Amino acid sequence: MTKAAVPTRRARAAKRPFVAATFAMTADGKITTREYSQVDFTSREDKMHLLRQRALADAVVVGHSTLKADNVRLALPKGELRDQRVAMGKPPAPIRVIVSNEGRVDVGLRIFESTISPILIFSTTRMPRAYQKALREKATLHLSESADVDLAWMLQQLQRDYKVRSVACEGGAALFRSMLEADLIDQLNLTITPYLFGGGAAPTLTGVSKAFLPASIRCTLTDMRTVGEECFLTYRVKRRPGSS
Ligand SMILES: NC(=O)c1ccc[n+]([C@@H]2O[C@H](COP(=O)([O-])OP(=O)(O)OC[C@H]3O[C@@H](n4cnc5c(N)ncnc54)[C@H](OP(=O)(O)O)[C@@H]3O)[C@@H](O)[C@H]2O)c1
């Protein structure tokens, strides 16, 4: 059963949308292989789970590396999930948001072939002019002067300018880690799949960084179910001690 993303007091108080991240990982904690190649290690049920989480959100956010590696459209297929949204008075699919610091986003990627929902790109003024020109035909650009995208600011813009109340973060690890470090994740939907990849260079949920997180992050398990050989976990991510 799909759980609705209910904005927490933390998200409301911070004037930002509720953020739920969805990942699948192997039993040894890997989200992809060392080569970051397209690797299919999840079931149809997990793929539906990802789509259900996407369908719950007003916006879906993805890091540039995941977009390049997986070349996803971030859309919703025709059918029940779209129909349910429309019946609730929502657009057929969530706004699609790409995060890139350097801004070298290839306009030939498949996401730009679909017009199902608006595409926003949050990047910096480092984005080369030629890319800006090509991308403006397909997407709305939000370019900040800072070296990196300020993710808290991005969420505030989404709420203020696009009325986004809930965000589905679809990774990858670098984006997820940055959002965790900034205390911007409210929920983690995690599928554990029956594989072992091994490999120190293969990323976990928080990437390949050997560095600890600034502080360990406590989660509360709020739901758990198994379907076939996969385990679907839902965690509420607790506020870090000392964070504002
Ligand atoms: N198993 C799963 O559930 C799952 C889910 C998602 C992804 N994946 C896999 O994860 C891999 C990609 O993950 P990844 O960790 O390499 O990359 P990522 O998180 O998808 O993307 C990182 C990129 O996002 C941009 N970015 C902009 N602001 C950022 C910020 N504040 N913090 C972090 N990134 C920011 C940068 O793009 P620029 O370089 O353009 O500046 C950065 O290089 C792929 O192989 C994908 O298949 C697996």
Q: Residue ranges per domain, the chain?
A: 42-182
Q: What is the pLDDT of residues 61-118, one digit of tens each?
A: 999 999 999 999 999 999 999 999 999 999 999 999 999 999 999 999 999 999 999 9
Q: Is the CB of 24 under 6 A from ligand 1?
A: yes
Indicate whether residue 21 lines ligand 1 (CB < 6 A): no
Q: Specify the ligand 1 atom closest to the Cα of 62.
A: 20
Report the C-alpha gap between 72 and 90 in whole angstroms: 22
Instruction: Output the pLDDT for position 1.
Output: 38
Per the DSSP assignment, residues forming a β-bridge with 119 are: 96
Pairing, β 187-193 against β 230-237: antiparallel
Mean pLDDT, range 179-196, rounded to an integer: 97
Measured in Å, residue 66 CA sits from the centre of ligand 1 at 5
Q: So what's the pLDDT on residue 244? A: 40
Mutate to test the pocket of ligand 1, among 28, 66, 121 (most ligand atoms within 8 A of CB): 66
Ligand 1 centre and the CA of 16: distance in Å? 21
Distance (Å, whole) CA 6 – CA 89: 18
Q: For 4-22, how does the pLDDT look when each residue is reduced to its tens digit (9 = 90+)?
A: 555 666 665 668 999 999 9
pLDDT digits (tens, 9 = 90+) for 27-74: 999 999 888 877 799 999 999 999 999 999 999 999 999 999 999 999
Assess whether pLDDT exceeds 60 at residue 3. no
Cβ 32 under 6 angstroms from ligand 1: yes
Please report, rounded to a whole number, the percentage of residues in the chain having pLDDT higher than 90.
Answer: 85
The atom of ligand 1 lying closest to the CA of 31 is 1
Count CB atoms within 10 A of the CB of residue 15.
Answer: 11
Supply the CATH classification number for the domain 42-182.
Answer: 3.40.430.10
Q: Token pair of 94, please?
A: 């969530």
* Among protein residues, the one whose CA lies closest to atom 35 of ligand 1: 175
End-to-end CA distance of the chain: 33
